[in-house]
Amino acid sequence: MIIRISKGNVTYAIQNFNGTIHGDSAYEIGRALYFIQKAIYSIPRLYGKVNNFRDPLDSWKKIFESTLAAIISSMLTEGRIKLYVNFEIESEIMNIKGKIEGNKVSLSSNLLKIPDGLSNDLKGLILLDSFYFNSLEKMKPYILPSTRDGFLASFYKFIVLQTEGVSGIPKSMGLAAEFINSILINPGYKDEILGHQITVNDEGLFVDEQPAYNSFSEVLSLFSLKYFLLNSKSDNVVIIEDVEAHLSSEGRALLNEYLRSAKCKIVLVGYSKFSE
C-alpha cells in the first residue's frame, strides 16, 4: 500500500510505512499521515451497514467513503486540529483519493478489482467487505511530536496506567493527547537513560526521584523514543518528528541503537533530513 500526501506542489509517497518527510510542509504532511492511517486502522467492518442487495458494490463503496471521511473528520474536530492537504491511498485492488480542508474531509474510491463469486446476499456482502478490507494495511500508528519532551514534562502524571477511572488527557488537546494517551505504563516501571534513573509510580514519571518537569529535554526525548521504538510491534508504524532534537552525540548513539532494534515501521519527519 502506498499513501501519497500533497501540500501545494510538494508530494510525499510513503510505501510500506517506511520513509522520511522533510521540508516546509513536513509536519502537516506527517500529521495528516498519522490521522489518515489511524482512521484506516479504526474503520469497522461495513457489511452490516449495506442495505442495497441489488447493487451491493456501489452501496458498499458509498458507505466506505462516507465512513472513512467521517472518522478522519471526527478525530480532527475532537483534537481541534486543522490540516490542508490532498491524499491518495493506493493498493492493488482499490484506490482512494481525498482532500482535507481544515477538519472537513471529502474522498472518493475506485474499485480496481471485483471479488469472484460475488452474490447479492449477506454472504456476498461479507465476501465483498473482506476483499477490500484485506487490501488496506491496518497498521496501528503512533506519533511522537517534536515537542514530546514538553508534553511529557507537562503531563507526566497522565502516563500511568489507571486501574480505576480514565487514563490520559482530553482529546481536545490535540497532538498532546494523541502522544500522551498512547503511553500507559504500570507503576513500578524502572529504567536508566544516560545514567539517569527513570521511574514511574502512582504519581507519574520521575527522573532521579524528581518529577519529569524538573528533568531536561534530552532524557525526556530519549525516554519516549526508547518506549515507542522498543515496545512497538511489526504491525505498528511510529511517526517521529525531529528525531534528533535535543540530543547530544551520546544521545544520538543511543537513538541509533533504538532504531536498529525497532521492529515497527518508522517514518521520520522534520524540516531537514535525518543524518544517519
Q: Could you tell me whether strands 94-102 and 104-111 are parallel, antiparallel, or unpaired per DSSP bridges? A: antiparallel
**Whether residues 84 and 167 fall in one domain:** no
Q: Is the pLDDT of residue 200 over 80?
A: yes
Determine the distance from the C-alpha atom of residue 238 to the mean position of all C-alpha atoms in its chain, rounded to a whole number: 7
Cα 88 to Cα 39: distance, rounded to the nearest angstrom: 14
Inside any domain, residue 276: no
Which residues form the domain of 170?
A: 142-270
**Whether residues 168 and 206 fall in one domain:** yes
**Whether residues 100 and 227 fall in one domain:** no
Q: Answer yes or no: are the C-beta atoms of 198 and 188 closer than 8 Å.
A: no
Q: Is the pLDDT of residue 79 over 80?
A: yes
Calculate mean pLDDT across residues 81-103.
96
Of 138, 172, 191, the residue that ends a domain is 138
Q: Average pLDDT, whole number, for the chain?
A: 91
**pTM for the structure as a whole:** 0.93
**Whether residues 125 and 156 fall in one domain:** no
Q: For residue 14, what pLDDT band results from cuts at 50, 70 and 90?
A: very high
**Whether residues 9 and 96 fall in one domain:** yes
Number of domains in the chain: 2
**Whether residues 15 and 125 fall in one domain:** yes
Of 138, 158, 180, the residue that ends a domain is 138
Q: Could you tell me whether strands 265-270 and 19-22 are parallel, antiparallel, or unpaired per DSSP bridges? A: parallel
Q: Is the pLDDT of residue 276 over 70?
A: no
Angle at 38 between CA 36 and CA 39, to 5 degrees: 65
**Whether residues 240 and 180 fall in one domain:** yes
| Residues 139-187 pLDDT 10s | 999 999 999 999 999 999 999 876 555 568 999 999 999 999 999 899 9
Of 80, 110, 138, the residue that ends a domain is 138
Cα 126 to Cα 47: distance, rounded to the nearest angstrom: 6
**Whether residues 133 and 152 fall in one domain:** no
Inside any domain, residue 275: no
Cα 155 to Cα 149: distance, rounded to the nearest angstrom: 10
Cα 251 to Cα 195: distance, rounded to the nearest angstrom: 11
DSSP lists the bridge partners of residue 237 as: 141, 265
DSSP lists the bridge partners of residue 187 as: none
Q: Answer yes or no: are the C-beta atoms of 81 and 174 closer than 8 Å.
A: yes
